[in-house]
Amino acid sequence: MSRDLELARIQLSRGEPEAAARVLGPVLAAEPDHVPALVLMTHAQIALKRLDLAQELSRRAVEHAPESPDALSALSRVHSESGRHDEAIATARAAAARQPLNPYRHHRLAWALLEDGRHAVEAEHAARESIRLDPDKADFRITYAMVMKQLNFTDRARQALRDALALEPDNAVARHELAALDVIHRNPFALSRMARGVSGLVGALRADPRQEASRFLLDLALRQFLVYTAIMLVLLAYLGWRTAGSSPGAARLLAALAALAPSAYAGYFLSRLDPALRSYLRDLLTHGRQRIALAAAALAVIPLLVALAAPAAWLPALLGTATFAGFAVRLLTAPVEEPGTPGRGLTSHSLRLIAGVCAAVFVGVVVTDALPRGWSFPAALTAAGGFLFCVVVLTRRKTTS
């Protein structure tokens, strides 16, 4: 039996909860109240997202061994996963009180406090204590970094993650979190930092290809770069259109900036990426609706270049077309929420709202003369394109749900 328990521990550490559960099943069938087996099976069921079964197992373990720190820690994890944070903290404290020199008890308490979201300072103390008791464990450094991140001490979080990687260079979680600090920021011009972040995400995926969070964040970062590029083009093209009637020279200058500035922005970012990432970005741009975004980007840049030498009377139409095409690029590069991934993009309700607005704009442009000359055709074209895009996405989502 001890060999089975050790094998189950190894399989859990490797991220193989299904295999661990298969090993532990016969053990619990022979001895239903075996506390170490109940604890290990609880952790396996948590990993498999079977929280009801995990709760039953952990409660049985605590009933048969109410003083067992392992059983209390397992129950604390179940409470945290179920959103019962007060109970999670209480059981984690009870486990730490019974084994104050065990770093894992303070580590569990730190996570219970961290996931509650109201006790970050106390979580820092618990995370520090786990590191003090075992300074060579990378997971404890990562937990401390998460606490620092919640407290908005980014530099400390970054250093803790670097310390974790010094202990375990191939730790995928530390690589992901360190890259996330570079990717998730609000400065659209920190391109070197963003490039460093996406390179770190690739490193996290190489260390653990199952890291779906790293894959999602990598796509998000690259789309964010595309969005910033489109916004830059739209803003400069719009300013050019606003000045086309009163100052054709200024409009031509803004048209040149609208064509060159996003290109320079994109070129600088691409120069910071390694060849494999450039290939990944190229694949991203040549699949699905991103291909339409590329066509819209070309439609935006061509009239901007034509505007450099075209007659002044053409400038409103050319710059208006570029503005609407750039807006279409912005819409197409926004992530769309997929079935099963709520909160990761445009919801169906948002798409219906955008489709309704586009339909209203199209009808208004066609039947009225509300827009100035030169704006009617690009506005109608963009509205029709936005409407069709939303309809296609909603139809595909309905058929796959």
Tens-place pLDDT, residues 244-278: 888 999 999 999 999 999 888 888 888 888 787 77
Answer yes or no: is pLDDT of 98 > 60.
yes
More confidently predicted of 150 and 1? 150
Query: Lowest mean pLDDT: which of 17-21, 107-111, 138-142, 396-400?
Result: 396-400
Answer yes or no: is pLDDT of 93 > 90.
yes
To the nearest whole percent, how much of the chain has pLDDT over 90? 37
> How sure is the predictor about 202, in pLDDT bands with cuts at 50, 70 and 90?
confident
Neighbours of 52 (CB within 10 A): 10
The CA distance from 333 to 348, in Å, is: 16
**Looking at residues 106-121, what average pLDDT do you find?**
91
Query: Lowest mean pLDDT: which of 89-93, 241-245, 354-358, 387-391?
Result: 354-358
To the nearest whole percent, how much of the chain has pLDDT over 70? 84
Answer yes or no: is pLDDT of 370 > 60.
no
Query: Lowest mean pLDDT: which of 83-97, 142-156, 250-264, 352-366?
Result: 352-366
pLDDT tens digit sequence for 157-190: 999 999 999 999 988 899 999 988 888 766 767 7
The reported pLDDT for the residue numbered 383 is 73
Helix, strand, coil percentages for the chain (3-state, nearest 5): 80, 0, 20
**Looking at residues 8-14, what average pLDDT do you find?**
88
The reported pLDDT for the residue numbered 244 is 85
CB-CB contact of 366 with 331 (8 Å): no
Answer yes or no: is pLDDT of 211 > 60.
yes
pLDDT tens digit sequence for 281-328: 777 777 766 777 777 788 788 889 999 988 988 888 888 888 888 877
Q: How many CA atoms lie within 13 A of 174 on its CB side?
A: 22
> How sure is the predictor about 344, in pLDDT bands with cuts at 50, 70 and 90?
very low
**Of residues 115, 42, 29, the one with CA closest to residue 72:** 42
**Rounded (5°) CA angle 71-73-75:** 70
Beta-strand runs (E) in 64-158: none
The CA distance from 86 to 83, in Å, is: 9
The reported pLDDT for the residue numbered 371 is 59
The reported pLDDT for the residue numbered 359 is 74
User: For residue 173, what are the CA distances in angstroms to 86, 109, 147, 159?
Assistant: 27, 20, 15, 15
The reported pLDDT for the residue numbered 354 is 66
Query: Lowest mean pLDDT: which of 2-16, 76-90, 153-167?
Result: 2-16
User: To the nearest whole number, what is the mean pLDDT of the chain?
Assistant: 83
Query: Lowest mean pLDDT: which of 134-148, 281-295, 324-338?
Result: 324-338
The CA distance from 393 to 345, in Å, is: 12
